[in-house]
Every structure is written in structure tokens, then in C-alpha cells.
Amino acid sequence: MLVNEDLMQGATVSGSGPAVVLLHSSLSSSKQWRLLVSMLSKNYLCINIDLLGYGSAPEVIDAVNYSLNTEVERVMSIVNHVIGTQGFHLVGHSFGGANALKISVENPDRLLSLSLFEPVAFHLLEKGSEVRKQVDEFAHNVAISSNEEGARIFTNTWNKPGFFDQLPIKMQRLMAQDIDKVNLDFKGLISENYTAQDLDKITCLVNLMCGTQSPDISKTLISILQNNITGSSLTEFDAGHMAPISHANDIANKIEQFIDSIV
């Protein structure tokens, strides 16, 4: 383990039945899945996890050596603590989706199903491509800005221009406080090294979801996943990148229906 806090800090377990592990987006917390958990926990054991630096989870201890391995090792330790070596359904959005994707590539035999809403697996974008340049510029602009301006750039990119300034001041301040972790998230995402070809290791059925109003970055990544994961299907929503929050009912219903369909 790369953290020295209590293993279950930031993890909530509810319900009973086959396990469902849920991973949230950057500048968010496990609370974003509250509606989905309330639906699934009637028939499933929900393991809803705050990723490092968010919600009630521990902070990152070794920022210099941080990578997605740091997140994934902790997540898998929590999962193994709760259900041993049993299989589980996996749900992820954005940064949580990228972590879920890595878990799926590395532990395909454990996955009962995979549901991803626009996972930001930036490393899969071809270096030198226009969309990869957009990501690199995005990460750079957040990193060189003040915490408040970085939070503004980040949230406006994934929502719409002016979104950050429409939020309550308290929420703006909370987001600004977490921007250092966002910079670490970028570091982990961009430095990951499995390839698009490695996605064929995923053997479970995969529920891909995206928003028609999302940035080109998200749409390009979804296309890469759809072209490289054999057992994947895609559902589009009239929404943006933050649909699991802004359109929580629609996304939760789709995920519940998909998981229920797995025999």
C-alpha cells in the first residue's frame, strides 16, 4: 500500500449481493453516485470509493512518484478487503473511468461488467495529434494558474464557459482547494502506458456512455475504446461530460439496466 491511513477511509459499503465498485470524477467525490447507489444497493453490494485527495479519502503521500498505480493499488486493496477474490461490476466516470479502465486491463478475470462514462484515458491519444495537443495545453494551463483560475479553467472546460463563476462561492473555494490533486490526476493520466491494443484484454461486456455536447477530447477517446474493446456498446445522451451529475437519473437508469442484464 502507498498510503498509511486506515484502508477503508473514504470507502462506503452498502447493500448485499454481487459487488459493484464505483469511482468518481476529478474535483468530485463518491457522493456523485448517491442516486445510483440507492438504486443498486437493493440487489447489489455497493463499494463506493473516494479517490485519493477527494471526499474523505487520504491525501496523496508521495506526489513525486504519483501515478495511476497509486490509485489502483488502493482501490483494489479496498475491494479485496471487502469481497476477497470474487468478481465485481465496475463503474467509472472521467478520472474514475480512467482508473476503472486500467483496473479492467490489469484484472480482466475479476470483471463481471464495466460501465464507463467518458473515461479520460488521455495517454491513449496519439502524441502529436491535434486532440492530444488540446489535452497537453489544457493540463498546462491548469498547472500554471492560481488555484482559483485553475479550477475555473478545469470546470469550464468540462461544462461550459462561465460555469465556474455561476457556482456558489463556497463551492468555488472548495474546488480551488483541490486543484493540486487535479494536477496530480493529469500527471497520472498522461503518464500511463498501456496501449489501445491492450484493451482487447477486457473480456466482460462494456457499457460505454458519452454526451453529444461533450468536448472533442471525450468523443475521440470513446471512439478509441469502441474500436478496441470487442464487447462494448455505446449509448449517447443529450448532455455533456458531467452527465452523471447533471443528468443523474438518466445515467443511473442506464447503468442499473446494464448491470441487471448481466447473467
SS3 215: coil
Q: What is the rounded (10 degree) CA torsion for 56, 61, 67, 68?
A: -20
pTM: 0.95
Helices (H) and strands (E) in the chain, counts: 11, 7
Average pLDDT, 10 consecutive residues per value, the chain (263 residues): 68 98 98 98 98 97 97 98 98 99 98 99 96 97 97 96 96 96 98 97 98 96 97 97 98 99 88
Please provide the size of the chain in residues: 263
- The candidate with the shortest Cα–Cα distance to 157, out of 53, 66, 242, is 242
Tens-digit pLDDT profile for residues 14-72: 999 999 999 999 999 999 999 999 999 999 999 999 999 999 999 999 999 999 999 99
pLDDT of amino acid 3: 40
pLDDT of amino acid 1: 37
The Cα–Cα gap between 184 and 96 comes to 14
CATH number of 11-124+194-261: 3.40.50.1820
pLDDT of amino acid 2: 41
Other Cβ atoms less than 10 A from the Cβ of 195: the count is 11
pLDDT of amino acid 4: 39
Q: Which run of H or of E encompasses 117?
A: strand 111-117
CB under 8 Å to 21, separation ≥6 — which residues?
47, 49, 75, 79, 88, 89, 90, 91, 100
